Amino acid sequence: MSQQERKLHLNAFLAATGHHEASWRHADTHPERAVDINHYLRLARIAERGLLDSVFLADGYWAHAGTLEPFTLLSALAAATKHIGLIATVETTYNQPFHVARKFASLDHISKGRAGWNIVTGAGPAAAQFSREQHPEHHKRYESAEEFVEIVKRLWDSWDDDAVRNDKHSGVLYDESKIHKIDWSSANYAVKGPLNIARPVQGYPVLVQAGSSETGKEFAAKFAEVIFTAQLTIEEARDFYRDVKSRLPKYGRTLAQLQILPGLSPILADTEAEARELEQELFELIDKKGAIQRLSSRLGVDLSNHPLDEPLTLEGIQSADEVSGMKSRHKLIVDLIEREQPTLRQVINTLAGARGHFTFTGTPLQLADTIEQWFQTGAADGFNIMPQIYPSGLETFVDKVIPELQNRGLFRTEYEDTTLRGKLGLARPSSIRHSSQFNEEVVI
């Protein structure tokens, strides 16, 4: 596909009140709607009106998350929408392959081919919620995740595409010869299969990944079809894009088989001055003490007595090797401190906008210029849109930025396919059972 033929891919990262950490305190938001299905229905319909590829729900097991379980919510959204893709985060560390395979197959059937799985290994120490003594180390989580994903794919493939007969005349409901055990046995998992539901509409739901550590990038090059990533500058985004795409050939994959979507968290208004005013309102609502505690925990150094308006240094900050959670986010903050020598207040404000994703404050036209620059210069295949305030931020993006992108020939003017794979330009995968590398029995 030529540069002129490429089209942006856009996902809306759903949230209760927005991606600014103080959004819940702003007068234009409604934190009481965090568990209100009508709020999320409204957001999904706005995104669909804007012809976005998908909406995305993050998930985790941290305390006081206050969010709805994603499969339950996305199933409801599937019934109330027609086109929008539906992506959910599901951890591998605290789940089982059979459950995950069955749930995503169900969501893909319910939505008629619009499901996507954001694969994470679990950044937070959730072990206590699952009767475990400790959270696994970073590299062990990824080792287990590779096996987990491979098992899930084989479970989806345990039914041939034509296994369901529903032949009333012959009395054959299923062709049993086309439903297979997988007999996976290893130190971590023992899964016989087959799955108890037919192969998903898309073959596999779209496989998404959100890790940007060295291990995460290699995992993405091997498995992912979409990456949600975080970079603060266009230069960092270009480096990441070039790095990950260069790893694809070793896994027999082409550049078009992986779409890279950096997070983009905008504050928009008709004038830049109005947008800056809203940005300042949100800055003033930040809980500074809580923000400093979180930053101290992430960096492994006590910043409680550091003056807000004095520059930060790297003195005392833990190394990447000491980080068990989100290594890529730790590196992002360290790089920011090293590159810009910001004050503590500046770091807090930067991270408050979207936890380390690229933030933008300005007019819709200015944002369209920025999106075009990133897209046309090798920094992104599209964006994971993360409005700092919901729902108004998404409405402004859809009503004022999307038309400008369409006028420039950068974004679709109608949905071109019914499935999420089709919207993303991804082929429907053939069954792994038909691969020359497939083994009927796997023992690791």
Domains of the chain (ranges; CATH) run 9-270+358-443 (3.20.20.30)
59 is in an annotated binding site: yes
Are 389 and 23 a contacting pair, CB within 8 Å? yes
212 is in an annotated binding site: yes
287 is in an annotated binding site: no
Flag whether the pTM goes above 0.75: yes
169 is in an annotated binding site: no
Print pLDDT tens along the chain (444 aa): 555 589 999 999 999 999 999 999 999 999 999 999 999 999 999 999 999 999 999 997 765 667 899 999 999 999 999 999 999 999 998 899 999 999 999 999 999 999 999 999 876 666 557 767 677 887 788 899 999 999 999 999 999 999 999 999 999 999 999 999 999 999 999 999 999 999 999 999 999 998 788 888 999 999 999 999 999 999 999 999 999 999 999 999 999 999 999 999 999 999 999 999 999 999 999 999 999 999 998 898 999 999 999 999 888 888 776 776 667 778 889 889 989 999 999 999 999 998 889 999 999 999 999 999 999 999 999 999 999 999 999 999 999 999 999 999 999 999 999 999 999 999 999 998 666 555 655 544
Q: HSE, CB side, 13 Å, CA atoms: give it for residue 418.
A: 8
75 is in an annotated binding site: no
The continuous run of DSSP H or E covering 44 comes out as helix 37-49
Q: HSE, CB side, 13 Å, CA atoms: give it for residue 118.
A: 24
19 is in an annotated binding site: no
Q: Where in 48-201 does DSSP place strands (E)? A: 54-57, 85-91, 115-120, 164-167, 172-174, 184-185, 190-191
Tokens of 357: 């994703």
